[in-house]
Homo-oligomer: A and B are copies of this chain.
Amino acid sequence: MIMSSKNFFEIYALDKNSRARMGEIITLHGKIRTPAFVPVGTGATIKSLTPEEVGNCGIDVFFVNTYHMLFRPGPAVIEKFGGLHKFTGWDKPLMTDSGGFQIFSLGERNERKNPPKEEQLIRVTDRGAYFKSFWDGKTVFLEPRDSIKTQQVLGADIMMAFDECTFYPIKKKYAKKAMERTHRWAKICLEQKRKGKKSQALYGIVQGSVFKDLRVASAKFISLLPFDGLAIGSVANSQEPRSKVFSVLDWTMPILYPTTKPIHFLGIGEVEDIFLSVERGVDSFDCVAPTRLGRMGWIFSKREGLAKKFRYDITKSQFTTDKKSPEIGCQCPTCQNFSRGYLNHLFRNRELLAYRLASLHNLYFFGSLMGKIRDSIKKGKFLKTKKEWLE
């Protein structure tokens, strides 16, 4: 071990030519090997897959959305089961978000340029956010303390602070206001965190949209608070221009990286983005890409000559009679047992097995990509591996 942070994060290898680092986050439910890909199990399930299958893909942790848990099935139900681990049957590490992302994305259209109004889907005050439930339209108020209380009931190993997510494009004045609220709320979240179990870690979230001075200020503020880990928020919502996404990392990582706390990049997950994030010192990222795109028929692949980089659409007619494995050489159960032609047939007939087999392959693809990245950092060959993949 090179460095450790409060017995929570241990760093085993540092790349000489970049900020890439390899380590482990240690939780009550086991270790998360970093850099880690964190798939999203919105409704307390990685859609179509069992926990056992997810684990067999080399995935150590997944993300559950607190917003969904608030309503379906509700924290009281999860509490009766003794937390998400027992509820889902997944006994490895879990992460929950604060609920904020879904709440603020509700108000995105009106919110981003004008001050929010009463009749809109959400109204943000300095205390928290009023929003209309996605399911029944009832107005609900969520404040930072509630978010953490809920996450404490859910029992995830890693919780996220309640922040005000902003969306692009945005006026700087509003971005600053949202950032300042996020900073005030960060302290309230930490206060509530101290009342709960020590085994649950809490990550603080850096905001500031696409403005350098705000991001720098936020990174300084959040990194000085006693969070267990750090996260970078509101930048990978796919509305920002791609150039901005990594500018944000370039501005903030010089401040966050030296803390030796694990750093999570929220909402990142395409192959290229993973390499660019790891290179800049990111330890984990979450993304719906492998499962959501899988359910649409996209198969992740390292094959050359694909029109779309790193994936192809298996529902196309050219695959109807293709006997080959979805990804030649892949060791996942899908590629070991089924052909492109059969998957094409299943997708064209909307057979449930289609979504499963594609999600499984894609998750395995990301799980083994992360294994290769960790290995390359250990061997001092990260940039070589990055080049092999991206060129």
Contacts and interface: CB of A to CB of B under 8 A. Distances in A.
Q: Binding site of A, secondary structure by majority: helix, strand, loop or mixed? A: helix
A184 interface: no
A47 B350 CA distance: 10
B77 A341 contact: yes
A49 interface: yes
A342 B89 contact: yes
A181 to B, nearest CB: 31
A26 interface: no
B89 A320 contact: no
A87 B341 contact: yes
Contact of A73 (B49, B51, B320, B357): B320
B77 A47 contact: no
Interface in A314-372: 320-321, 323, 333, 337-339, 341-342, 344-346, 348-349, 351-353, 355-357
A1 B330 CA distance: 46
Interface in A240-262: none
A356 B353 CA distance: 9
* Count of identical protomers in the assembly: 2
Given A77-B341, A345-B73, A356 B88 contact: no
B73 A337 contact: no
Contact of A353 (B49, B338, B341, B349): B49
A102 interface: no
B353 A50 contact: yes
Contacts of A43: 345-346, 349, 351
A22 to B, nearest CB: 32
A340 to B, nearest CB: 11
A89 B341 CA distance: 12
A48 interface: yes
Nearest to A74: B320
A44 interface: yes
A352 B349 contact: no
A360 to B, nearest CB: 10
A119 interface: no
A338 B89 CA distance: 6
Contacts of A45: 346, 351, 353
B353 A72 contact: no
A349 B72 contact: yes
A307 to B, nearest CB: 24
A391 interface: no
A387 interface: no
Contacts of A195: none
B50 A339 contact: no
A351 B41 CA distance: 11
A45 to B, nearest CB: 5
A235 to B, nearest CB: 29
10 contacts: A43-B346, A44-B342, A45-B346, A47-B353, A73-B341, A77-B321, A89-B337, A89-B342, A352-B356, A356-B356
Given A87-B342, A352-B352, 10 more contacts: A43-B349, A43-B351, A44-B342, A48-B353, A50-B337, A77-B321, A80-B321, A80-B323, A89-B337, A89-B338
- A-B pairs with the 10 shortest C-beta distances? A48-B352, A80-B321, A73-B345, A89-B337, A43-B349, A45-B353, A45-B351, A47-B352, A72-B349, A89-B338
